């Protein structure tokens, strides 16, 4: 008999199974509110003009297909730091920073989990947000099996708001020194609710007091407000406390529309007032390279060349900023349109949260049964948790979606 005879089928990842059901649905009215990727007003993937121009320029140059260095493309690593931290922090804190190109945001999350478990810190707990991106729990279980996954309250479903008091209370009471905590830098997936600047200040104080190691997942810089600097505010605020040691998992999937190219970076900043900091940062860098070498050798080349071209040239960077406004502006307009339609129909309940939330996703507050009804009766697909991707809403389908929601909640 085969040694694999007891192996069971792995659970198909929920959103991917739903996507398959959506594709198989032949009804012409069908709407995809599952997607974690930007769509234009015609429900099509959007090629950012800045990226199209960068690719055109790259074709004019001499390209090669050699391996990247183990740390990744030096140019890409440099521009990714600049856009994340801003030139002032990079100039001042460069010696305390270790950076490595990764297989996008997922690769950065996995690498930091592995690094913290295997190389030195060995936290007792990783504190993840309840709710969070569906993959975070698995990433930690697979890559850092000896670190215990703990959940802290983040979102109050009934109030459709951040559960800040419960969050602070749980963390104050339960975090141990050197525990690791994860935050979303902006445009929280799936709730669309981020802490205010005042709340970030309080969280930074708590991390200082409890001596926590902080991880920011930055998958949506520029996609929340449309402004790269504003969306990096929380990260830069934490950096302003020299003794908070932190890592940032940076993805360019969403903000450059380079989903399949797997472009990202992991940055880790050590204590900024430790005289030995620069040597420690070098050791971190070296160990990150060592770990990634064993997993994937080095990150892929093409996407990082496109990203370097866009981020590294003033004119293309300006074009990119305007692309970010286009994407975030369309999503904001669709939020308003959906809320307005629901108000017009006098749909029971309050719908202000749709416009108050930010980024690609909305926790609609629809129940599992209502979500099922939407799918069966109206061919509108969203996650069973009620998370809707606002990218699937267009000026053509918004009134159909509103009428369907009205019917399932009335
Ligand atoms: N982090 C968050 C919060 C996400 O929502 C996603 C993707 O949906 C990722 C990380 C990872 O994306 P990628 O691996 O494509 O960079």
DSSP labels, 307-365:
HHHHHHSHHHHHHHHHHHHHHHHHHHHHHHHHHHHHHHTT-SS--HHHHHS-SSEEE--
Measure the CA–CA gap between 263 and 221, rounded to whole angstroms. Answer: 14
Phi first, then psi, for residue 119 (nearest 5°) are -115, 80
pLDDT tens for residues 1-47? 999 999 988 876 778 889 999 999 999 999 999 999 999 999 999 99
Integer CA distances (angstroms), 220 to 37, 229, 254, 302, in order? 11, 12, 6, 21
ipTM: 0.99
> Ligand 1 centroid vs 135 CA: distance in angstroms?
8
> Ligand 1 centroid vs 249 CA: distance in angstroms?
9
Measure the CA–CA gap between 75 and 129, rounded to whole angstroms. Answer: 33
Q: What is the pLDDT, as a whole number, of residue 12?
A: 64
- Look at residues 362, 359, 106 and name the one whose alpha carbon lies nearest to residue 253: 106
The beta-strand segments (E) located in 186-303 are 213-218, 246-251, 263-269
> Ligand 1 centroid vs 219 CA: distance in angstroms?
5
Q: What is the pLDDT, as a whole number, of residue 245?
A: 97
Ligand 1 in reach of 264 Cβ (< 6 A): yes
Q: Give the closest residue (by CA) to ligand 1 atom 8.
A: 36
Contacts of 90 (CB under 8 A, 6+ apart): 81, 82, 97
Which tokens is 47 given?
């090629």
Measure the CA–CA gap between 290 and 375, rounded to whole angstroms. Answer: 47
pLDDT tens for residues 361-406? 999 999 999 999 999 999 999 999 999 999 999 999 999 999 999 9
Integer CA distances (angstroms), 206 to 184, 201, 238, 298, in order? 16, 9, 11, 36
Mutate to test the pocket of ligand 1, among 135, 191, 219 (most ligand atoms within 8 A of CB): 219
Q: What is the pLDDT, as a whole number, of residue 60?
A: 81
Measure the CA–CA gap between 27 and 239, rounded to whole angstroms. Answer: 51
Ligand 1 atom with least separation from CA of 251: 16
Q: Which residues lie across from 180 on neighbouring strands? A: 126, 213
> Ligand 1 centroid vs 145 CA: distance in angstroms?
21
Asked if 367 and 158 count as a contact pair (C-beta separation under 8 A), the reply is: no
Q: Give the closest residue (by CA) to ligand 1 atom 12.
A: 105
Q: What is the pLDDT, as a whole number, of residue 149?
A: 98
Which portions of the chain are predicted below pLDDT 50? none
pTM: 0.96
Mutate to test the pocket of ligand 1, among 13, 253, 363 (most ligand atoms within 8 A of CB): 253
Q: What is the pLDDT, as a whole number, of residue 189?
A: 95
> Ligand 1 centroid vs 106 CA: distance in angstroms?
6
> Ligand 1 centroid vs 3 CA: distance in angstroms?
35
Measure the CA–CA gap between 307 and 256, rounded to whole angstroms. Answer: 8
Q: Which residues lie across from 269 on neighbouring strands? A: 97, 246
Which tokens is 119 given?
């190389």
- Look at residues 225, 200, 184, 230 and name the one whose alpha carbon lies nearest to residue 332: 225
Ligand 1 in reach of 221 Cβ (< 6 A): no
Q: Which position has the token pair 């159909």?
A: 400
> Ligand 1 centroid vs 403 CA: distance in angstroms?
31
Ligand 1 in reach of 218 Cβ (< 6 A): no
């Amino acid at each position: 008999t085969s040694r694999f005879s007891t192996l069971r089928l792995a659970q198909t990842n929920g959103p991917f199974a739903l996507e398959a059901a959506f594709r198989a649905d032949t009804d012409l009215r069908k709407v995809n509110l599952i997607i974690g990727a930007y769509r234009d007003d015609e429900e099509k993937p959007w090629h950012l003009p800045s990226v199209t121009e960068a690719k055109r320029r790259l074709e004019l140059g001499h390209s090669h297909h050699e391996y990247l260095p183990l740390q990744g493309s030096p140019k890409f690593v440099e521009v990714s730091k600049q856009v994340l931290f801003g030139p002032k922090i990079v100039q001042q804190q460069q010696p305390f920073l270790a950076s490595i190109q990764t297989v996008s945001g997922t690769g950065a999350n996995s690498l930091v989990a592995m690094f913290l478990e295997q190389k030195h810190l060995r936290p007792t707990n990783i504190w993840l947000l309840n709710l969070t991106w569906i993959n975070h729990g698995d990433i930690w279980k697979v890559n850092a099996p000896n670190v215990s996954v703990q959940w802290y309250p983040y979102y109050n479903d009934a109030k459709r708001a951040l559960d800040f008091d419960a969050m602070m209370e749980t963390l104050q009471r339960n975090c141990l020194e050197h525990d690791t905590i994860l935050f979303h830098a902006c445009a929280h997936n799936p709730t669309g609710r981020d802490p205010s600047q005042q709340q970030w200040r309080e969280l930074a104080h708590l991390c200082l007091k409890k001596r926590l190691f902080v991880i920011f997942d930055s998958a949506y810089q520029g996609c929340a407000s449309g402004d790269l600097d504003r969306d990096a505010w929380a990260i830069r605020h934490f950096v302003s406390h020299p003794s908070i040691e932190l890592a940032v998992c940076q993805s360019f999937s969403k903000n450059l529309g380079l989903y399949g190219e797997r472009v990202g970076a992991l940055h880790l900043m050590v204590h900024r007032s430790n005289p030995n900091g620069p040597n420690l940062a070098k050791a971190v860098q070296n160990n990150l390279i060592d770990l990634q070498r064993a997993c994937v050798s080095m990150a892929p080349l093409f996407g990082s060349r496109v990203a370097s071209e866009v981020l590294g040239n003033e004119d293309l960077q300006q074009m990119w900023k305007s692309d970010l406004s286009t994407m975030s502006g369309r999503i904001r307009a669709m939020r308003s349109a959906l809320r307005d339609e629901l108000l017009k129909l006098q749909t029971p309940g309050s719908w202000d949260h749709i416009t108050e939330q930010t980024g690609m996703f909305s926790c609609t507050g629809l129940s599992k049964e209502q979500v099922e009804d939407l799918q069966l009766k109206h061919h509108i697909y969203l996650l069973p948790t009620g998370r809707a991707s606002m990218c699937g809403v267009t000026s053509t389908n918004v009134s159909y979606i509103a009428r369907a929601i009205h019917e399932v909640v009335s």
